[in-house]
Structure 1
Amino acid sequence: MLRRSVCWMLARHTFFLSAISNRPVQFLIGLILLLLLYANISSSTQYRQQITTQNYYRELVRNHWEEMPDKHPHRMAHYGYIAFRSIDPLSLFDRGIDNYAGNAIFLEAHKQNTVNFSEAGLSTGLLRFGEITQSMVLQLLVPLLMFFIGFGAIAADRENGTLKILFSQGTSWKELLLGKSLGLWLIGILFLLVGMLLLVGTSLFIPELEMNSDWWVRVLVLLLLYSIYFWIIAAITSWVSASSKSAKLALVSLIGIWLLMGIILPRAIQSGASWVFPAPSKIHFDSMVEQELIKKGDSHDPNDPYYKALKDSVLRAHNVSTIEELPFNYSGFQMKEGERISTELYNKQMAVLMGIYKKQNNLSSLTGWVNPFVPIRLCSMSFAGTDFSSYTRFQEEAESYRYRLAQQMNDWQIQYISNKKPTPGEKGPAISRDFWKVFPEFTYPSTSWKQGLNEAGYSVLMLLAWFLFSLWLLIFRSQKLNAL
């Protein structure tokens, strides 16, 4: 029979006497709280700077686009546009891959460029060692503190004989493990609540940050997931302490677990996944796309076999002998066909590349079944909108926008530009600048909680499996332990 009063008594003893009243632990708690505060201030400062910079250049790009004079549509297609990846409001909490992935891409006709201007690329090499964020503190430093506080929770009682006294008074292993775990879990919850309060408080003072219902749902989901994570850490700590013959052995074991699962294993698996599923370099990828285009034809070459056959078929269909007799601009028609073909070839190669990256990520995420540090990291990035999927969604949206822009310019050329070449001294064909304002501005919405759940579903399942395993470990495996 599990007595809740005994569990709460042991939890209070662990929380207040082992942690809150312990001078060295008080210092560590204060240090981590300061790190949470620093992470919050630095993230909010960086967020404000990025938002200000991005809004300035987004407006500048749009103004330049709309203020362009009367031009030939194809020239505007090559003039291009710059698409900016919106910064997710919850990047304040978890930066994810944002610092390493680019946030702007130049869009132009017939060419797909890469996303550029990442923080890591524009910063010193120190950023590549990691950045102090609230998520990093909660994922790595708080568990380390819980290990430090809880390593002797049961092992020390075994060494000084207190464990025998507890059992002689009727305390069971089940009550002891659950009570100690609950006390350690409350320590983790303390930091989690402080971190979330800092996040909400800071967000209230950032005018550009929209705290809508979706934002609140994602915050609450993160609160729940991190609560489950800290229970898993607390249960592991209690179990290792109860299974160890001495407190020293428990401390060494827990530090080893932290180093292996939190630092070494994730990086080793990422490197291993890249080795098992190697991705082509940027140069190799571009060359593959170029080779496919060469096989298909060059839309800028009037003598290209494919496009010469296309021209002949169009002339026959309209029962005319020259391009000048066509009721539309043939050059724009040819450019439109070339854009369609090049985009299809690019998307085909990009799908292959994304498939390789997906295999790498899937292999890395599989280690979450043996490492609880992995699923919480993946869940955190997914709901913060800073994971790899949010980055690829931006690429897809930007490419879709680029294709619409190029084809719109081709359509305007087909409709409004004459096939007749201007005579010497005559101004070249152009359309009114009013057309540029008609084409909509690029927008990229923040991640919704449904998108986050869709991307993090597998990781959430792993986290729940770890939670059930921790309960099984404390409740059913407790019978295998002994007090000696």
Structure 2
Amino acid sequence: MRIHIIRLISIQFWKQSLQNKAVIFLLMILSLLFVFAAYTGWQDYKTQEDTRVKHQVDVRKQWEGKPDKHPHRMAHYGYLIFRARYPLSFFDYGLERYMGNSVFLEAHKQNTVNFSEAGFSSGMLRFGEVSTAMILQTLIPLFIFFLGFSCISAERENNTLKVLISQGVRWKELLAGKILGLLCLVGLVFVPVMILLVVMWFSLTDFKSTVDEFLRLFWIGGAYLIYFFIVCSVCVMVSAVSKTSRSSLVKLIGLWLLFIVIIPRTAQAFGAYLHPAPSKIDFDTNVENELVKTGDSHNPNDIYYQRIKDSLLHAYQVKTVEELPFNYSGYIMAEGEKISSGIYNRHWQKQLDIYEEQNSINRSLAFVNPFQAVKDLSAALTGSDFNSYINYQEQVEGYRYQLAQLMNKLQMENISNKKQQGNDKPYTISSDHWKELPDFQYRFIDQTTLFQNEMVSVISLLVWALGLLFVLHFMSKTIKIN
């Protein structure tokens, strides 16, 4: 192919498009939408993050400011954790509004992440929110289709296509020039959006951004460029095989509805139908029923824990628990925490397996639908996808278990085994021990794990791009002028 011919065709297409006042108007509307979406996302992230930090500091002060207490009382007093958002989540909300913002941690019980934005919003949220990623994923393809639906079909209708071909322009050069011209027009919007994204990202992190965030931003830009190339290629191909611009436009709008609306919605409903998940009530009931069978660690005469008591007395060669070198109740509480956590985690893993089967329907359709691929990859890179939410819950559960077992350890080491009499002062330990609980530090999914989770999406985008190059090469040899 001759590069200068491709460049001439793309420049000509560029000039013709910009002479159309409707195109200028659409560019202005899209620019305003991007500014609005970027600002509202930036403001929302900043407000929520400032609120989270403030309340998390207050929770820590309240925890450390508690007076001398029995450690098991502190375990039930509990701790409150607020979910941190990834800095780039202002770009793509993903599941952010449905994830919940805080979770209460206490001994022997795993609570859900509560107070999601969706829970406090009206039903309008089901129609989606105006985020930068949403505009790039759904509205930019429409913009491309509007620009390119007649890029070749109009040449055929005006009989200028025969002139171009007769003058020595090859089909490959014509197709490549039109695709390049479309990509350049999209770049008028996409490049400023990426610059705006970088500026807002720097402002949110006080210019202390990490290498991980920079790389994620780079992958986001690359993923959307591939996505736009796919959309532009499909648009030019449809226009090339259509005899009229009207039929080309109808086909492209039909493809947009199929890929953006019908397939994603159908896949979600189909996944839930094939792999139904238990409700929260059923889940909690199943966990509770199994917990009942394992005994009650708060009951010193429980049959199950009686066996543990007998084994301890035999191991330490003593007759009563008062003679043990540690607090017996604290030991039993620690054992009970291990058992209850194991039961919960086992049931939770079964629930996750069902969710994974549901999501696999959507994920597998990424090979059919590039919109699904870029949507999943974008949410993952901004830390607002399902895997990020599950990763957060797992880390919170680990921290809750650490809190409970720390209090049990303090009870074993600092509380006497002797039974209290009626007038005895309640057993307590110094409040200085509360500082031994470390702050919760949420660790976002590393990029290696992220790409392992989204390998299907990455491969799908690459397969689509390479496949379309092959199809374009094949079309250039078989396509007809009339």
Q: Same fold (TM over 0.5)?
A: yes
Percent identity of paired positions between Structure 1 and Structure 2:
46
SS of corresponding position for 1:69? coil
What is the CA–CA distance in structure 2 between the aligned matches of 1:56 and 1:404, rounded to whole Å? 24
What is the CA–CA distance in structure 1 between the aligned matches of 2:465 and 2:193, rounded to whole Å? 22
1:338 positional shift: 0.5
> Are positions 1:7 and 2:23 aligned together?
no
Which residue in the other structure is 1:154 paired with? 152
Runs of 5+ unmatched residues, structure 1:
none
Do the aligned partners of 1:93 and 1:133 also contact (CA within 8 Å) in 2? yes
> Are positions 1:343 and 2:341 aligned together?
yes
2:279 to 272, 278, 281: 281
Matched to 1:371, the amino acid is N
2:80 to 67, 79, 82: 82
> Are positions 1:139 and 2:133 aligned together?
no
Cα 1:207–1:469, aligned 2, differ >3 Å: closer, same or farther? Answer: closer
Per-residue displacement from partner, 1:118-169 (whole Å, max 9, x unpaired)?
Answer: 1111223222321111111111101100001100001111111111111111
Do the aligned partners of 1:383 and 1:447 also contact (CA within 8 Å) in 2? no
Which residue in the other structure is 1:443 paired with? 441
Which residue in the other structure is 1:41 paired with? 39
1:91 positional shift: 0.5
> Are positions 1:254 and 2:252 aligned together?
yes
Do the aligned partners of 1:3 and 1:175 also contact (CA within 8 Å) in 2? yes
Which residue in the other structure is 2:394 paired with? 396
Do the aligned partners of 1:86 and 1:444 also contact (CA within 8 Å) in 2? yes
RMSD of the TM alignment (CA)?
1.3
1:5 positional shift: 1.2
SS of corresponding position for 1:476? helix
Do the aligned partners of 2:71 and 2:410 also contact (CA within 8 Å) in 1? yes
What is the CA–CA distance in structure 2 between the aligned matches of 1:44 and 1:305, rounded to whole Å? 57
Do the aligned partners of 1:315 and 1:322 also contact (CA within 8 Å) in 2? yes
What is the CA–CA distance in structure 2 between the aligned matches of 1:108 and 1:459, rounded to whole Å? 38
What is the CA–CA distance in structure 2 between the aligned matches of 1:112 and 1:29, rounded to whole Å? 50
Q: Normalization by structure 1: what TM-score? A: 0.97
Moved more, 52-61 or 125-134: 125-134
Do the aligned partners of 1:385 and 1:452 also contact (CA within 8 Å) in 2? no
Moved more, 319-328 or 276-285: 319-328
1:206 positional shift: 2.8
What is the CA–CA distance in structure 2 between the aligned matches of 1:357 and 1:252, rounded to whole Å? 37
Per-residue displacement from partner, 1:73-108 (whole Å, max 9, x unpaired)?
Answer: 101111111122211000111111011111211111
Matched to 2:251, the amino acid is S
2:315 to 314, 317, 321: 317
Cα 1:310–1:296, aligned 2, differ >3 Å: closer, same or farther? Answer: same
What is the CA–CA distance in structure 2 between the aligned matches of 1:112 and 1:160, rounded to whole Å? 69
What is the CA–CA distance in structure 2 between the aligned matches of 1:417 and 1:53, rounded to whole Å? 38
Do the aligned partners of 1:146 and 1:188 also contact (CA within 8 Å) in 2? yes
What is the CA–CA distance in structure 1 between the aligned matches of 2:52 and 2:158, rounded to whole Å? 61
Matched to 1:474, the amino acid is L
Cα 1:191–1:446, aligned 2, differ >3 Å: closer, same or farther? Answer: farther
SS of corresponding position for 1:442? coil
> Are positions 1:453 and 2:421 aligned together?
no
The count of corresponding residues between Structure 1 and Structure 2 is 482
Matched to 1:93, the amino acid is F
1:207 positional shift: 5.0
1:108 to 106, 109, 120: 106
1:384 positional shift: 0.9
What is the CA–CA distance in structure 1 between the aligned matches of 2:162 and 2:99, rounded to whole Å? 56
What is the CA–CA distance in structure 1 between the aligned matches of 2:270 and 2:243, rounded to whole Å? 36
Matched to 2:337, the amino acid is E
Which residue in the other structure is 1:91 paired with? 89
- Write the mapping of 1:227-246 to structure 2, written as runs, cut at 5 A: 227-246=225-244
SS of corresponding position for 1:421? coil
Moved more, 271-280 or 290-299: 290-299
SS of corresponding position for 1:217? helix
Do the aligned partners of 1:192 and 1:223 also contact (CA within 8 Å) in 2? no
Per-residue displacement from partner, 1:296-339 (whole Å, max 9, x unpaired)?
Answer: 22212223221111112212222222222222111111111100
Do the aligned partners of 2:87 and 2:205 also contact (CA within 8 Å) in 1? no
Do the aligned partners of 1:86 and 1:445 also contact (CA within 8 Å) in 2? no
Which residue in the other structure is 2:184 paired with? 186
1:195 to 173, 182, 193: 193
Matched to 2:7, the amino acid is W
Moved more, 230-239 or 95-104: 95-104
Which residue in the other structure is 2:66 paired with? 68
1:208 positional shift: 5.5
Which residue in the other structure is 2:405 paired with? 407
Matched to 1:247, the amino acid is S
Matched to 1:10, the amino acid is I
Matched to 1:328, the amino acid is F
Which residue in the other structure is 1:431 paired with? 429
What is the CA–CA distance in structure 2 between the aligned matches of 1:423 and 1:189, rounded to whole Å? 79
1:423 positional shift: 2.2
What is the CA–CA distance in structure 1 between the aligned matches of 2:423 and 2:403, rounded to whole Å? 31
Do the aligned partners of 1:58 and 1:84 also contact (CA within 8 Å) in 2? yes
1:222 to 201, 220, 235: 220
SS of corresponding position for 1:27? helix
Matched to 1:137, the amino acid is I
What is the CA–CA distance in structure 2 between the aligned matches of 1:294 and 1:16, rounded to whole Å? 75
What is the CA–CA distance in structure 2 between the aligned matches of 1:139 and 1:207, rounded to whole Å? 26
Do the aligned partners of 1:96 and 1:381 also contact (CA within 8 Å) in 2? yes
What is the CA–CA distance in structure 1 between the aligned matches of 2:361 and 2:134, rounded to whole Å? 22
Do the aligned partners of 2:366 and 2:456 also contact (CA within 8 Å) in 1? no
Matched to 1:191, the amino acid is V
1:393 positional shift: 0.5
> Are positions 1:291 and 2:289 aligned together?
yes
SS of corresponding position for 2:96? coil
Which residue in the other structure is 1:16 paired with? 15
Runs of 5+ unmatched residues, structure 2:
none
Per-residue displacement from partner, 1:208-254 (whole Å, max 9, x unpaired)?
Answer: 57422211111111111111111000000000001111100000100
Matched to 1:95, the amino acid is Y
Per-residue displacement from partner, 1:342-366 (whole Å, max 9, x unpaired)?
Answer: 1111111111111111111111111
SS of corresponding position for 2:469? helix
Which residue in the other structure is 1:329 paired with? 327
1:450 positional shift: 3.1
Which residue in the other structure is 1:365 paired with? 363
Q: Normalization by structure 2: what TM-score? A: 0.98
What is the CA–CA distance in structure 1 between the aligned matches of 2:250 and 2:78, rounded to whole Å? 59
